[in-house]
Amino acid sequence: MDEKKMRLGFRAAFLSLLLNIVLFALKFAASVVSGSVALMADAWHTLSDSLTSIVVIVGLKVSSQPPDERHEFGHGRAEVVASLVIGVLLSVVAFNFVVEGIRVLLGEKSASFGLFALVVVVVSVMVKEALALYCFFVAKTIDSKSIRADGWHHQSDALSSLVVLFGIVLSPFFWWMDGVLTIGISALIFYVTYGILVDAVDSLLGTAPDEEFEKKILAVVSNLFDEEVFPHHLHMHRYGDHIELTLHIKLPEKLSIGEGHGVASKIEDALRQKLDVEATIHVEPLSSVCQHEDESDCRIS
HEC letters along the chain:
CCHHHHHHHHHHHHHHHHHHHHHHHHHHHHHHHHCCHHHHHHHHHHHHHHHHHHHHHHHHHHHCCCCCCCCCCCCCCHHHHHHHHHHHHHHHHHHHHHHHHHHHHHHCCCCCCCHHHHHHHHHHHHHHHHHHHHHHHHHHHHCCHHHHHHHHHHHHHHHHHHHHHHHHHHCCCCCCHHHHHHHHHHHHHHHHHHHHHHHHHHHHHCCCCCHHHHHHHHHHHHCCCCCCCCCEEEEEEEECCEEEEEEEEEECCCCCHHHHHHHHHHHHHHHHHHHCEEEEEEEEECCCCCCCHHHHHHCCC
Phi, psi of 185 (to 5 degrees): -60, -40
Catalogue all structural domains in the chain, each as residue range(s) with its CATH number: 3-205 (1.20.1510.10), 211-298 (3.30.70.1350)
Predicted pLDDT of residue 290 = 46
Predicted pLDDT of residue 11 = 85
Predicted pLDDT of residue 301 = 31
Nearest alpha carbon to residue 237 among 202, 284, 283:
202
* pLDDT less than 70: residues of the chain: 1-3, 51, 59-60, 62-79, 104, 107-113, 171-172, 175, 178, 206-209, 239-242, 288-301
Predicted pLDDT of residue 133 = 92
